[in-house]
Structure 1
Amino acid sequence: MNLINRSIFLFLLTALAACNKNLLDTTPTDRLAVNVFWKTEADAKLAVNALYLDLDSTNILALDALTDIGHTNQNFDVQAYVELGTYDQSSAKVYGEWKSAYKGIHAANYFLENVDKVTTVTPALINQFKGEAKTLRAYQYIKLAGLYGDVPLVTTSITLEQSRTLKRTPVSEIYDFIDKELTDAAALLPATYTAAADKGRIARGAAWALKARADLFAGRYQLAVDAATEVNGLGYTLYDSYQKLFSYAAENNKEVILDKQFIKDNYPNNIFAILAPYSQKNGNSSYVPTKVLADTYQTSTGKKINSSGSNFDPAHPYDNRDPRLRYSLFVDGDALPSGLIFHPAPNSGTADAIGSTYIASTTGYNLKKYINPEDYVNPGNCGINIILLRYAEVLLTYAEAKIELNQLDQTVYNAINAVRQRADVNMPALPAGLTQSQLRDAVRYERTVELAFEGQRLYDIRRWKTAETVMNGPVYGITWNNNGQLTTVQVVSFNRAFDKSRHYLWPVPQKERDLDPALSQNPNW
């Protein structure tokens, strides 16, 4: 059994044992009472396994749809108001991310407060579980810091009255906590697991890789370099096929450092239904790529499409491009899981034609990542794992941090080129002698195309302070042949707005401030 199967099995086993008692026993059967739990190592394992349920999953796709490279396809979706800049502190999106993060933090706090009650003959195992819980708690705080800035730092269970007097902790102290938390966790975690039942369990590399991510977000570049360096030598490598990286065949490969594990029938997700083109069993096209993303991919010569000598052909825009374009996006002429051919142009007459229904992609692009033929029969019952952190990101984190430190040595080139020259990508290596500015552009390009729709773009354009430039104006889609005239699609009645005086941070949700008047608000909300 893998991690999710074990969690479900142990829960059912415990529930059955609780039900097989004298009928007069008043122990509740719909939950585990504290006085009968926290006894054995099995209890501890069940409890730590449950913490993984609070990890992000398909919501990372939604975060990228709030950036220049993605779009929330239905204008009436609550997310669309974030793109439009018309949201406020009452936004369900803003509240939902806050609520889910603190739910995970509360669960980790409760675990860490109680796990030492367990009787154990293997203290190292309990320490491992603590390391997992600390890493999962830090994961939530990284997200909170990136989205809201200052947030309450809660590391113990609190009473209802205490919750009404919490104050926000400066974001620098949140990052201090994350640094210590993940350093401590790394010391408790094994480098790897050998048992099949432990697939998906957090290992030492996840703690260091998350620390590298957090330090990059915080601008603590030397610490990011140091943490990324710790990941090296732990057995992670780039998977040889980007095209197959998000397939069932590639699950649990050596590039994956942290993922959310799913199982068809038992604990599925609905990513196929969320992302697939409308022709695929009424796929929802909930979050779609934009022209910005499609145009970002370089030509196979390693040049921008508008650069002199790029050999870009507007009439055949997807030919001779960075292979990651076709690996990541469904574009005109691609085969779909059903066997149909994707034709999104407004005059195509297909179910995927722009304007054929409000559900079809409004940009003419659909995401190909995670759309697997195995899920076509039942799009709402997907077992594909959602990757939350992989080795390619660590390499790019290392490179970006070194560039910002102006440490422009060969290791920077090696890290970026390793990502560019994956076996089935094979883009030209960076030329030697680039300036800091040129290398900055190079690593930002790689993060954009390599990690597209993996939940990092929103944080990137915020910390780079480019959101105010890229997040204003219309949303564009495909360029199509309109009776011999090349015409670019513009999403109807949609004009993004980004106010640099306040939109670099989300507001503290109003629901939280109603319950806790001590919570301050971000500027200009």
Structure 2
Amino acid sequence: MKIRYIFPLVVGLGVLSGCEQNLLDTVPNDRISSDIFWKTERDAILASNGLYPALDGVNIFAIEGVTDISHVNQVFQVESNIEKGIHDALNSRPQTEWTSAYRGIRLANDFLANIDKVQTTNTALIARLKGEARTLRAYQYTKLVGLFGDVPLVTTTIGIEEGRTLKRASSAQIWDFVLKELTEAANDLPAAQTDKGRITKGAALALKARAALWAGRYQEAADAAKAVIDSKTYALYSSYANLFSYAAENNSEVILDKQFIKDTYSNNVFASMGPYSQRTANNTYVPTKALVDAYPMANGKDITDPTSGFDPKNPYANRDPRLRASIFVQGDDLPDGKKFDPRPTSGTADAIGNTYLATSTGFVLKKYINKEDLTTGGNCGINIVLLRYAEVLLTYAEAKIELNQIDATVYDAINQIRQRADVKLPALATGLSQAQLRDVVRKERLLELAFEGLRLFDIRRWKTAEKTMVGDVYGMTYADGADLKTIQIASFTRVFDPAKHYLWPIPQKERELNPELTQNSGW
């Protein structure tokens, strides 16, 4: 069964800690007092449940939306300014991600400060719950460093005045902390949990592999990924096309996801990301031509290769199956059974230019868009996957390539993904150089993990954003009579300044609250 979140309980406990003593003389009836909580094993489990809502959810699409493979569909959204390189420390997207991450860190710190008050002889349970909290806290710090670089490292509960004097710890210090935490947490976590969605040993090790890769600590990344692989706990799901469907929830590939329940704890992924024609959907962030063109032909050749068989007049035929599994393209079946036709001349609700809510590129995300949510687009129960086995395989391969430890296991890790049962791309040619394999694994990350919230972190750590995040934004190419026309987003140019844009600015509000917070270079 899924975790039943009790976030209000944990918030209530945090709020109570600052109350004056005379207010605690009576037990409040609108929250649980710390005087009567933290007594039993059940208290510990319920409190741990309250840590999970701080995990990322549909916000991963906003983070993905400001990369080369996506476009902010409504230009008045705050993320559009990030695309155009005109954002500043007042932009609400960095503020939202900062606030959300430190909220999760505060909840974990509060939990770890109180869990030992529980009266039990079940030390294994307490150790497991601590391991979950430490992993969830490490998850937030991994994201914070990827977005902001140096940030305050807070590992205990603090008061308001302490919060006004926090200084930024170096990224290296935070990576040291994160990797140590995840190593120790993994030792206290089980390979599987009865409640779906809870942190496992595999989740801690997979997150360690991700963090070490982002930190450039490739041997640690390879070792952590290898530990996940050798555990034999996970396997690639047979169908990439169905990987993000309700039927595939909690499948063998999922290592960590955020669990949702329709009507109880739901998300709005269909409403925010689905095709405009599908009732309440409005294409908030849409795929770009850069992403669509990156998918090779089914024979493995790039569409720019004259021998690939690519037909510009029939551009989606015989392509890597992950293209149509990930993105709605012209001619695809929509959840309501109609055909997707975004051509400006199509006369459909999805036609480019029909409304500012319709896709501006002619492409729409297909991952997570399920027909079960057609009539309730703002009330979806689909889980959002945050870590899956395919990423672990690619992390292992990339780390080994960067270490120049290229062997059969590197090829095997990549080929497993390329040759998934419903993908079946040709196996890689052997004997590739380190530089060639680096290009291969980076492209596989792009294709396999598109719109899963990782692209921004990848193009930052690879230092490729200065090349991919500049210039005009393009969409679909379509036939207009005998002519082929390519959509270009009107009056929109991306700008990326490598002197500043590889990190987001520290939010201005945070610096006003805490004068000790310095600003990132260039901001």
TM-score w.r.t. the length of structure 2 is 0.96
C-alpha contact (below 8 Å) 1:4/1:262 kept by paired residues? no
1:34 match: secondary structure: coil
Query: Post-superposition shift, 1:2?
Result: 1.8
- 1:58 — aligned with what? 58
* Equivalent position SS for 1:3: coil
2:287 alignment partner, one of 284, 289, 309: 289
Amino acid at match of 1:128: R
Partner of 1:30: 30
Residue aligned with 2:50, SS: helix
What is residue 87 of structure 2 aligned with on the other side? 87
How far apart, in 2, do the equivalents of 1:332 and 1:284 lie? 17
SS of the aligned residue for 2:488 comes to: strand
- The equivalent residue for 1:21 is none
Asked whether 1:71 is paired with 2:71, we answer: yes
Which of 219, 223, 248 is the aligned partner of 1:222? 219
Read off the aligned partner of 2:48 and give its amino acid letter.
V
**The residue matched to 1:36 in structure 2 has which SS?**
coil
- State the shift of 1:4 in Å: 2.6
Instruction: Please give the residue correspondences for 1:60-459 in structure 2 after superposition, counting only pairs within 5 Å.
Output: 60-193=60-193, 195=194, 198-234=195-231, 235-459=233-457
Coordinate RMSD, CA, aligned: 1.5
Query: Which residue is equivalent to 1:19?
Result: none
Query: 2-side partners of 1:287 and 1:4: how far apart?
Result: 30
1:87-123 CA-partner distances (Å, limit 9, x unpaired): 0011111111000000000000000000000011211
1:224-258 residue CA offsets vs partner (Å, 9 max, x unmatched): 00100111233100000000000000000110000
SS at match of 2:51: helix
Question: In 2, distance between residues paired with 1:471 and 1:372?
Answer: 30
Residue number in structure 1 paired with 2:19: none
Number of corresponding residues = 510
State the 4+ residue runs in structure 1 displaced beyond 2 angstroms: 7-11
Question: Equivalent of 2:474, from 473, 476, 479?
Answer: 476
* Corresponding residue SS for 1:415: helix
- Counterpart contact for 2:322–2:447, Cα < 8 Å: yes
Matched residue of 2:489: which SS?
Answer: strand
- Aligned-pair identity in percent equals 62
Contact 1:4 1:263 in 2 (8 A): no
Task: Kindly provide the amino acid, as one letter, of the partner of residue 413 in structure 1.
Answer: Y
Alpha-carbon distance in 2 for matches of 1:499, 1:29:
53
Go from structure 1 to structure 2 and tell me whether the alpha carbon gap of 1:9 and 1:251 turns closer, same or farther (over 3 Å shift): farther
Match of 1:17 in 2: none
Measure, in 2, the Cα distance between the counterparts of 1:73 and 1:452. Answer: 17
Query: What is the CA deviation profile of residues 8-38 of structure 1, one whole-angstrom value per residue up to 9, with x for unaligned ones?
Result: 8999xx9xxxxxxxxx983222222110110
Match of 1:18 in 2: none
Shift of 1:469: 0.4
Cα displacement (A) at 1:282: 3.5
Distance across 1 between alignment mates of 2:492 and 2:8: 47
For 1:316 and 1:41, how far apart are their aligned partners in 2? Answer: 61
- Contact residue 109 and residue 156 of structure 2 kept, 8 A: yes
Q: 1:284-306: CA deviations, max 9, x gaps?
A: 10011000000000111111110
Cα distance in structure 1, aligned partners of 2:8 and 2:141: 29
Structure 1 distance, partners of 2:507, 2:311, is 47
Is the partner of 1:232 in helix, strand or coil?
helix
For residues 505 and 476 of structure 2, the distance between their equivalents in structure 1, rounded to whole angstroms, comes to 34
Query: Partners in 2 of 1:170 and 1:282 — Cα distance?
Result: 44
| 3-state SS of 2:355 partner | coil
* Distance across 2 between alignment mates of 1:74 and 1:487: 22
Distance in 2 between the 1:32 and 1:184 partners? 31
Q: Following the alignment from structure 2 to structure 1, what is the Cα–Cα distance between the partners of residues 464 and 286?
A: 21
- SS of residue in 1 equivalent to 2:460: helix
The separation in 1 between residues aligned to 2:7 and 2:448, in whole angstroms, is 34
Alpha-carbon distance between aligned partners in 1 of 2:157 and 2:9, rounded to the nearest angstrom: 25
Measure the CA separation in 1 of the matches of 2:49 and 2:440. Answer: 39
Q: Could you tell me which residue of structure 2 aligns to residue 466 of structure 1?
A: 464
Equivalent residue letter for 2:200: A
Distance 1:159 1:274 in 2: 37
Any conservation in 1 of the 2:9–2:32 contact (CA below 8 Å)?
A: no
- Is the contact between residue 9 and residue 50 of structure 2 (CA under 8 Å) also seen in structure 1? no
Q: How far did 1:310 drift?
A: 1.0
1:346-393 Cα distance to aligned partner (Å, 9 max, x none): 000000000000000000000000000100011111000000000000
* Matches of 2:151 and 2:8, distance apart in 1: 36
Tell me if structure 1 keeps the 8 A contact 2:199–2:256: yes
What amino acid sits opposite 1:437 in the alignment?
A: A
Match of 2:490 in 1: 492
2-structure distance, mates of 1:512, 1:117: 33
**Larger deviation, residues 300-309 vs 165-174:** 300-309
Counterparts of 1:42 and 1:102 in 2: how far apart (Å)? 26
Q: Is the 8 Å Cα contact of residues 102 and 140 (structure 1) preserved in structure 2?
A: yes
Check conservation: 2:328, 2:363, Cα contact below 8 A: yes
Please state how far the C-alpha of 1:217 moved relative to its aligned partner. 0.3
Partners of 2:30 and 2:290 in 1: CA distance: 50
Shift of 1:153: 0.2
Amino acid at match of 1:213: R
1:39 aligned onto 2:36? no
Amino acid paired to 1:237: A
In 2: Cα distance, 1:233 partner to 1:262 partner: 30
5+ long unaligned stretches in structure 2? 14-23
Amino acid at match of 1:78: V
- Asked if the contact 1:4/1:261 (under 8 Å) is kept, the reply is no
Q: Structure 1 counterpart of 2:390, which letter?
A: A
SS in 1 for 2:35: helix
- Tell me how far apart the structure 2 counterparts of residues 129 and 30 of structure 1 sit (CA, whole Å): 26
Which residue of 1 is the match for residue 18 of structure 2? Answer: none
**Partner Cα separation in structure 2 for residue 474 and residue 517 of structure 1:** 38
| Deviation digits for residues 415-470 of structure 1 (CA, Å, limit 9, x no counterpart) | 00001000000100000000001101110111001000000000000011000000
Question: Which amino acid is 2:440 matched to?
Answer: A
SS in 1 for 2:4: helix
Distance in 2 separating the partners of 1:406 and 1:316: 40
